[in-house]
Amino acid sequence: MNIVFILSALIASTVAEPVDSTLASSQILNLLNTESRPQSMMIPFEEIRIHRIRKEPLRFAGIMRINPALGISVAYSEPEETTFILTSGGLRIRQEGKPDQTAPEEAGKLVQVFLDLLTLNASILSEQFTLEETMEPSGWTLTLVPSDPALLRHFESIRIQGEHDWLKFITIEHGKGRRKQMVFRSMPLEWDATPEEIESFF
Amino acid sequence: MKNHSRNISRILLILYLGVMLVLCLSIDWKHALSTNLFDLIDTDHHLPEEAREAQSILQKSLSKEISLIAIPSDPAQLPALKSVFLQGVRNLKPVAEVTCIGDMPTPGSWMADLFEHKHLLLLPDWWQGVSEGASSPISDEELRGIADEAAASLDAFLQTPESTAYEAHVDGDPLLLIPSLLSGLSGTSPNPSGVPRIEISAQLKEAPASSESVQTILRDIDTLRATLIEAYPGVELLDNGYHRYASESESLIRAEIPRLNLLTAALTLVIAFVFLRKPLILLPILSVLVMSAGGAFVITLLILGQIHVISLVIGSILVGIAVDYSFHILLKREELQTLSFSETLFRILVPLLASCLSTVFGFLVLLTNPVTAIQQVGWLVGIGLILALSLSALTAMAMDRPGKIQLSRLLSFHPPLKHFRWDVPIACILGLACGVLYFHRSIEKDDIQDLQIPLTKAPINEQRMRSLSGDLTTRNHHWITIGSSISELVDRQHAHLTKIPPDSGIHALSLASILPSQDAVDRFDTFLQSDGQTFIQHFASALDHRGYDPEAFEAFLTAWKALESQPASDETREGIYRKLAAALPYPLTHLANQSGDHFWGMTLLQIPEDHAPVESDGSSFELAPLRTFNQALASYRKQVTFSVLSAAVLVTLACFVVFGFKAGTRVTGIPFLAVTFSLGILAIIHPVHSLFHLVGALLGACIALDYAVFVVQSKDRHPPVSIRISALTTLASFSVLATSRIAAVSDLGLTVVTIVAVGWLLAEYHKLESE
């Protein structure tokens, strides 16, 4: 059983309820949430992990699938095949030849944050984060700083960057010399999922 | 009968009924009946006192466990179903703790302790693992190899996508002590079965010992099932646990009790209609039976607090024996017409008491029996017989128009046989031969499961659940280890586990899976003092070589240096062990417990089905309730054999004293020959001997002695007709028991039937004319 992944959730304290804050509007999130944006989509990604203990960053690659009804499936293809399935019910990890591993409930709230982020749920995000937007001719940057101290234990900030309606980077600053960056080199593709694909990725 | 005698009897009967009514109100009827098989017998006396106590605690705890599996019709429902399912189980009133299989136990102070002291707790076992096969003293080359291997493991770990969860901690744990520990602990997880499902393990607040609690659990699970189906149509909910077995066992036994009682009553009625000219006389007999059986039940409940349903089944024999007294007394009613109350009592009770007491004595011997079920039968039937005797007398005296009981001529038959000359010596030789044949042919059978009707639905349900969980190939075995400290307990667990070959396919989960043995601690301390610094230099070099910055691991290096400069004392270790053990959450609760001044811990072994049993090393004991109970039954059988033989000698001596040598020989000879001849018959038809055969033999001998007293004392040329009608009713009731689906009850019934039948024949033969 691969339970290592869920460890951070075990160690971390339970995330507290969202703080009450004024609902902010985000130009960038509105920009991304256009009607032309496919509801069910797939996006190839590259992930770069930077840790102060390593001289060089680690690189991963895979395809992210987003289905508003089911959740998000992050299927790593390199260096090994592993799929993270994030749903409203929590997090599961799927690996070939092994039973699905379910993260404990304590991980659920953290998973929900990422679900809201990747499905661009502006209203919820603005409740849990302080949003800071920068619009430049070369592109835009939206920085999300957790309002909740419990979330701050996991990351100091999340920065998403893009151009027009193309989300190009998600950078998670963990602090203490750790950073994670997801790079989307292409626009999301519409994913007309077959039942077999849904079964395979969710 | 004089009027005032009748009035006194009636007042006494009303008083009796009133007292019983008051007693009934003071009984906790919810917990009056037990269905728990483990209530029938005490724990194993072969184990040390501490282990027995631990065994009892663990056994009770395990009987609180229930497993639930939810299978959605659509696998996509799994995540959402999980939270609803978990919450639903948590909301069940009888449930105390819940965990989802595959999830880690709830994080808490134990996890915080584990993290804080990970180096102190886990480095000894890490070193033991990586240095296995190394030379002593370890060479520099070997140290370098171990350091290289550790750096390679860290690098490989970080290359996995899921390492993201632990990467915040690797600077303090580059040897991956915590991930390795958790990976090892997870070896006891169920295997994949290909069926998308959610498995939940829950612990109840109380073991489902009573019928009420079993029904509550079943009702709650049904409600949960309905809720889940409403939210997720097509979802299937399966459950398993002690409650399933208790429920099926109880329903089978509950069906068995009325079946046995109705059959007994029906056969008694048939006998009455056939052999009594006025069957209406049965009404007072039936009222005596109801009052005595009910009274015995109430008084026994007041004495013991609870009765097992099995004891009630065996206790059905009371009806068959008690009816004898009613017959005896009612047959004498005619001559009681003109006597005073005291004269009547004397006239009725003296002869009956002589025979009754021998039977009651037999049942009183049962009270010394260590088997709870047999003790309960002893109380129930012993009290019932005394009540039946007294109530028969009172009822007979209280009746207005006693009338005359007219017996059928069928009961006054004269067997066309005569004594022959060498009958006594031949009978004795034959009797002894029968006894020898029985003990030569029969096999010992001590099986606690004989006390219940073989179950069908619950085992099939369990098999299905195991099949879904993918663990059909292994069996869980629970072991108990005792120690005066946690360190000693863990040392003993390690010693036990080292005897299991690593390639045996056995997975173990215990405190020893987390904590090191003293030997491992000593070896690590030696290594740390002699080669600790050299290893760190090699490790730093290996990390650097693989693209890591060794100086970034300062948290680990600081902890290493601290251990090097000041190794933890035994007291410090024990303190940390105790703190960690006390904070273990469900389902790890039983990995360590404290009872009085000692500690005990459970080891869960998942052993392949085809693997030979793991042997005890004298300090760890397997919790194997069935085997333990069977061993206890065997031991009790030997004790009871001794008690019965002693009682037989005492009764024989008493008979010689009371009746003189000649009559005493006949009084004791009839039951002796009845038992030995019966053993010969049983040697042919059912060559098994168990505790229940022995109890049957005791009862049979008491009843045969009863007949012997009557025929030897009777001056009539024929046996008293009361013996004939009594034997018929006794045979009828015990024959019904012999048809029981409960093996123990059937064995008991068959043994008594055989002995009573032979005893009756011998009583008849005794009264035959000589040649």
Mean pLDDT, to the nearest integer, of B144-164?
94
Whole-model pTM?
A: 0.70
Share of chain B above pLDDT 70, in %: 88
Q: If DSSP codes are grouped into helix, strand and coil, which group holds residue A99?
A: coil
Bridge pairing between strands B236-241 and B507-509: unpaired
Mean pLDDT, to the nearest integer, of B662-689?
90
**In this predicted model, which residue has the larger pLDDT, B769 or B425?**
B425
Provide the CA B369 distance to its chain's centre, in angstroms. 16
What pLDDT score was predicted for residue A19? 33
B91's tokens: 């909301």
What pLDDT score was predicted for residue A15? 30
| B665 contact partners, CB below 8 Å, separation of at least 6 | B656
Q: Which of B104, B158, B192 sits opposite A10 (nearest CB)?
A: B104
Mean pLDDT, to the nearest integer, of B527-531?
93
Would you give the end-to-end CA distance of chain A in angstroms?
Answer: 19
What pLDDT score was predicted for residue B120? 93
Q: If DSSP codes are grouped into helix, strand and coil, which group holds residue B216?
A: helix
Beta carbons of B78 and A89 less than 8 Å apart:
yes
Beta carbons of B70 and B235 less than 8 angstroms apart: yes
What pLDDT score was predicted for residue A164? 82
Pick out chain A residues at pLDDT < 70. 1-25, 34-37, 104-106
Mean pLDDT, to the nearest integer, of B16-39?
83
Whole-number Å distance between alpha carbons of B71 and B85: 11
Taking CA atoms, what residue in B is nearest to A197?
B76
Beta carbons of B160 and A79 less than 8 Å apart:
yes
Q: Which residues of A touch B183 (CB under 8 A)?
A: 1-4
How many angstroms away from the CA of B70 is the closest CA of chain A?
A: 15
Taking CA atoms, what residue in A is nearest to B547?
A55
Would you give the end-to-end CA distance of chain B in angstroms?
Answer: 44
Length of chain A: 202
- 81-120 in chain A: CB under 8 A from chain B: 82, 84-85, 87-90, 92-93, 98-106, 108
Residue pLDDT, tens place only, B297-325: 999 999 988 888 778 877 776 776 677 67
Distances, alpha carbon B400 to alpha carbons A63, B333, B390, B403, in Å = 98, 12, 18, 9
Long-range contacts of B16-24 (CB under 8 A, 24+ apart): B16/B291, B16/B295, B16/B391, B16/B394, B17/B291, B20/B291, B20/B294, B20/B295, B20/B298, B23/B298, B23/B299, B23/B302, B24/B298
B447 touches chain A (CB under 8 A): no
B68's tokens: 């639930």
Whole-number Å distance between alpha carbons of B684 and B661: 34
**In this predicted model, which residue has the larger pLDDT, B342 or B586?**
B586
Mean pLDDT, to the nearest integer, of B591-608?
89
Taking CA atoms, what residue in B is nearest to A76?
B161
Residue pLDDT, tens place only, B477-499: 899 999 999 999 999 999 999 88
Where are the domains positioned within chain B? 1-31+281-404, 110-188+474-608, 407-441+625-771
Beta carbons of A7 and B182 less than 8 Å apart:
yes
Mean pLDDT, to the nearest integer, of B145-167?
93
Beta carbons of B165 and A1 less than 8 Å apart:
no
Confidence of residue B332 (pLDDT cuts 50, 70, 90): low
Whole-number Å distance between alpha carbons of B333 and B336: 5
B88 touches chain A (CB under 8 A): no
What pLDDT score was predicted for residue A23? 38
Beta carbons of A53 and B168 less than 8 Å apart:
no
What is the phi/psi pair of residue B646, to 5°? -65, -45
What pLDDT score was predicted for residue B348? 59
Whole-number Å distance between alpha carbons of B520 and A35: 64
Q: Flag whether pLDDT at B622 surpasses 80.
A: yes
Q: What is the dihedral of CA B267, B268, B271, B273, to 10 degrees?
A: -110
DSSP state, residue B410 = G
Q: Which residues of A touch B175 (CB under 8 A)?
A: none
DSSP state, residue B194 = S
Distances, alpha carbon B90 to alpha carbons B66, B93, B116, B203, B452, in Å = 12, 8, 31, 10, 32
DSSP characters over A18-58? PPP-PPPP-HHHHHHS-TTS-SSEEEEEEEEEEETTBSS-E
How many angstroms away from the CA of A130 is the closest CA of chain B?
A: 24
**CA-closest candidate to residue B248, choices B447, B70, B61, B452:** B452
Q: Which of B86, B171, B186 sits opposite A1 (nearest CB)?
A: B186
What is the phi/psi pair of residue A53, to 5°? -75, -20
What pLDDT score was predicted for residue A88? 78
Q: Which of B76, B174, B192 sits opposite A70 (nearest CB)?
A: B76
Q: Which of A52, A82, A100 sits opposite B161 (nearest CB)?
A: A82
What pLDDT score was predicted for residue B353? 62
User: What residue ranges define each of the domains in chain A, with the CATH number in brackets?
Assistant: 7-12+21-185 (2.50.20.10)
Q: Flag whether pLDDT at B83 surpasses 90.
A: no
B269's tokens: 């009625």
Q: Which residues of A touch B168 (CB under 8 A)?
A: 8, 174, 176, 178
Q: Which residues of B touch A198 (CB under 8 A)?
A: 76
What pLDDT score was predicted for residue B530? 92
Which residue is associated with the tokens 């013996």? B723
The chain-wide mean pLDDT, for chain B, equals: 84
Whole-number Å distance between alpha carbons of A152 and B282: 86
Q: Flag whether pLDDT at B192 surpasses 60.
A: no
How many Cβ atoms from other residues are within 10 Å of residue B552's Cβ? 19
Whole-number Å distance between alpha carbons of A104 and B585: 14
Beta carbons of B622 and B477 less than 8 angstroms apart: yes
Which class does domain B407-441+625-771 fall in? mainly alpha
Q: If DSSP codes are grouped into helix, strand and coil, which group holds residue B769?
A: coil
Q: At what angle do helices B423-441 and B625-685 cross, to 10 degrees?
A: 140
How many Cβ atoms from other residues are within 10 Å of residue B418's Cβ? 11
Whole-number Å distance between alpha carbons of B145 and B148: 5
Q: Which of B111, B171, B553 sits opposite A11 (nearest CB)?
A: B111
Beta carbons of A4 and B107 less than 8 Å apart:
no
Residue pLDDT, tens place only, B623-633: 877 777 788 77
What pLDDT score was predicted for residue A3? 37
**Amino acid identity, position B734:** F
B549 touches chain A (CB under 8 A): yes
Highest mean pLDDT among A33-47, B114-128, B378-392: B114-128
Sheet-wide strand order for B65-71 = B95-100, B198-204, B65-71, B236-241
Strands (E) across B582-674 are located at 593-595, 598-608, 620-623
Whole-number Å distance between alpha carbons of A166 and B115: 42
| B211 contact partners, CB below 8 Å, separation of at least 6 | B33, B35, B250
DSSP state, residue A178 = E
Confidence of residue B235 (pLDDT cuts 50, 70, 90): very high
Q: Which residues of B718-731 are buried (b: 16+ CB within 10 A; e: fewer)?
A: bbbbbbbbbbbbbb
Beta carbons of B276 and B1 less than 8 angstroms apart: no
A51's tokens: 């840790």
Beta carbons of B190 and B509 less than 8 angstroms apart: no
How many Cβ atoms from other residues are within 10 Å of residue B357's Cβ? 17
Beta carbons of B167 and A7 less than 8 Å apart:
no
Bridge pairing between strands B598-608 and B474-483: antiparallel
Beta carbons of B58 and B478 less than 8 angstroms apart: yes
DSSP characters over B1-64? --HHHHHHHHHHHHHHHHHHHHHHHTS-GGGSEE--GGGGSPPPTTS-HHHHHHHHHHHHHHTT
Q: Flag whether pLDDT at B349 surpasses 80.
A: no
Mean pLDDT, to the nearest integer, of B326-348?
65
A153 touches chain B (CB under 8 A): no
